[in-house]
Every structure is written in structure tokens, then in C-alpha cells.
Structure 1
């Protein structure tokens, strides 16, 4: 095994320049109005995590903290990583964007290749034009991504993946 391969086994907390792992509180993250949000000291991966409970027919999202918005302003080319889980995997919906970021003028969207499991599922999204970001259904350009990141006002991660009542969790958000 090479050193590079070995590095994948190191817990992210050891070397990240930015990490929100929800060990003591929600760290400024919230959920949008379509859900009731909360923080749990246990059940995360490991320790605490943020959760949302569906209260509407609209898809709900975890809303990034001011700390992440600030750290992302110089995030072009970096990787946004996070972990999600949901309470059930029946009646899965695929109609919403999974990650949405905006500067108030341009909105960029990203769809992951799969929905989370009932156990913690890890995601990594590169913040560049080669990774599949969309600007109004067209491929986002380098200029689009740099513009949005440089003036970022909102970053949200989808928490609802099924039709009907649900609960979902978010943990270990990092930018490196």
C-alpha cells in the first residue's frame, strides 16, 4: 500500500483546514422552512450531528453556517465533503438538486450519483467546472464557479430524499 492509499484511512478531523463535525452543537447550520431542524449529541459519525424532520411537501435542505460560507470564498478547486443519512430508503425522490450554492445572482446546482442510506453515506464534491456543476441546466464554467464562491451567500445540502414524512442527518462537513 502506498502512502497515498494509506491516507484514505485517516479520520478527516486530523488534518482538515475546515471541518464542522457537530460534536458540541449545530455550529451555525440550520434547515430551511420545509423541515424542523435540531441537533443531537449522539448518533453521528461519531458523536453529534444535525438533523431535519420533514414538515412540508417541499424538499428540505441543510443550510450552511456563516463559517462555511466564509471558508468557501477561496474554495475554487477544493473539495466539499459531507456525510448524510436518512431514516428510510423506500419511496425515493430524485427531483431535487443535492447541493445548491448561490451568490444571490447566479445559482449553481450539483446532483450526486446516489441517495444516502440509513447509515452514514459519504459524499465529496469538487468545486470546479469539471465536476458536473450546473448553471440553469447548462454546465457551469470556471468563471461561474469562481464568481459564486467569491461572493457566496448561500450553500445548501439536500436532506430530504423520499416522498412522504422523513428524517435525515448531516455530519462531518469539510472543505479541503
Structure 2
């Protein structure tokens, strides 16, 4: 009976470790039915993102110069995201109106843990159509690490910015308090649209190991209890 219980437990462990759910999960916002809890920051004409029936959200710049506006991710994307290290964060971005792009290479999104942040610097030209921005959350990608929040905008590249290390990225992901996606990519009054925000996650090895150990120990505890009786 004991060997049978142990065999069943080990089978459950193997099934758990090989299942897609134990290997990866996704947090996403597709905006098919609304703004899904996303908010705005910076100078915009509305206090909240506007929803398009075509399945995306958008906002319009309030200032005729660079105001640093953008989108704030919903609470579903916040908290302990340690499992996102080494995984991809992506979204579709579009910009229309206004003038020329602020820069060919720009700060596109930031993850915050309190006053500490990692900011991705990349190239995108979302001229009227959606372009996909994606980055793997590790030091081989082009991330800036900061320990303060710029009073004007977290997206302004400053002298003295340092490249984020894997330790910096892990630290920020351990308790994400804010995710900001830049919308102000052009000079002048422009409209930014956002769609298909996606964050890939894998379970932390420790949590899987604890669950697996528990399944193996169950028959051992049951056997000892039966003996005592």
C-alpha cells in the first residue's frame, strides 16, 4: 500500500513538472472590451485612457511640446514578478499626429520597485500603425537602472545613467509597484494607442520544489500515522 501511494505521488509530481501551467503563464491585456484597469500619467487631454471599439486604448497629448505622458499598467501586472526574469515583455504601440519622432532610439517602458527602476531603451517607429515593442527582462537587453524618479519624466535619458545588471532587474521584479509605457514619442500634440500588453512568467523553482516535496511526503506521513495507530 505504501509503495502504491508513493508511486502515485511521484506520478503527480512528474505530471506537475511537465505540465504547461508549471512551465509558463501569461499576464496580458488585449483591450477587447475596455481599458482593463490601465491608467494614464503625464499631460493628457483626458484623465483616463479612451477605449476604441476596434480593441485598443489611446490617449492624446495635452502639451505642444514633450510632456512625457504614457500608460500605467493595471494591478494585474504588479507585485512579485520574479518569474518574469529572463522572459519577454511586449506590447503594440502606435503614434499619430504631432511632428517628428523625439528620437530614433527612445526610452519605451519602465518597471518600478518603489524609487528603483529599470527602463528599456529601444527603437520603434509606430507611424500611424501598430508596431510591436518587446524585450527580454535580463541584462543582455538595453535597460537603464535608476534609484530615483525623474521629476519631469522617467523616460528622459540623462547623463550618468547606468546599465542595469541581472541583480538590478531581479530586485525590481521582486516587487513591481508600477509599470509605465511611454506614449509621448513625437514633438507636438500627438495621440498614442496601446494594444496587446503581454508579460510571460515561469514559476519560481522553489515553489515547485516545495509542492513536489509535499506530494512525496504525504504517503510517508500516512504510513507513520498508520503504524502508530
1:152 to 168, 176, 182: 176
SS at match of 2:97: coil
Q: Is this contact kept in 1: 2:110–2:119, CA < 8 A?
A: yes
Which structure features the higher share of helix residues?
2
Query: Which residue matches 2:57?
Result: 50
SS at match of 2:168: helix
- C-alpha separation in 2, matches of 1:25 and 1:166: 22
TM-score (norm 1): 0.81
Is 2:121 the counterpart of 1:111?
yes
Q: Which ranges of structure 2 fall in alignment gaps of 5 or more residues?
A: 1-23, 147-160, 201-229
Q: Is this contact kept in 1: 2:99–2:186, CA < 8 A?
A: yes
Question: Are residues 16 and 115 of structure 1, via their aligned partners in 2, closer, same or farther at CA, if it must alter by over 3 Å?
Answer: farther
Q: Which ranges of structure 1 fall in alignment gaps of 5 or more residues?
A: 1-14
TM-score (norm 2): 0.63
Query: Which residue matches 2:77?
Result: 68
How far apart are residue 41 of structure 1 and its match?
3.6
- C-alpha separation in 2, matches of 1:149 and 1:141: 12
1:122 to 95, 107, 132: 132
1:91 to 100, 117, 125: 100
Q: Is this contact kept in 2: 1:102–1:108, CA < 8 A?
A: yes
How far apart are residue 73 of structure 1 and its match?
4.3
Query: Which residue matches 2:142?
Result: 132
How far apart are residue 70 of structure 1 and its match?
3.5
How far apart are residue 123 of structure 1 and its match?
1.3
- C-alpha separation in 2, matches of 1:113 and 1:91: 14
Query: Which residue matches 1:9?
Result: none
How far apart are residue 91 of structure 1 and its match?
2.0
The structure that has the greater radius of gyration is 2
How far apart are residue 89 of structure 1 and its match?
6.9
Q: Is this contact kept in 1: 2:124–2:133, CA < 8 A?
A: no
Deviation string, structure 1 residues 69-94 (Cα, Å, up to 9, x no partner): 24734311110010001113732112
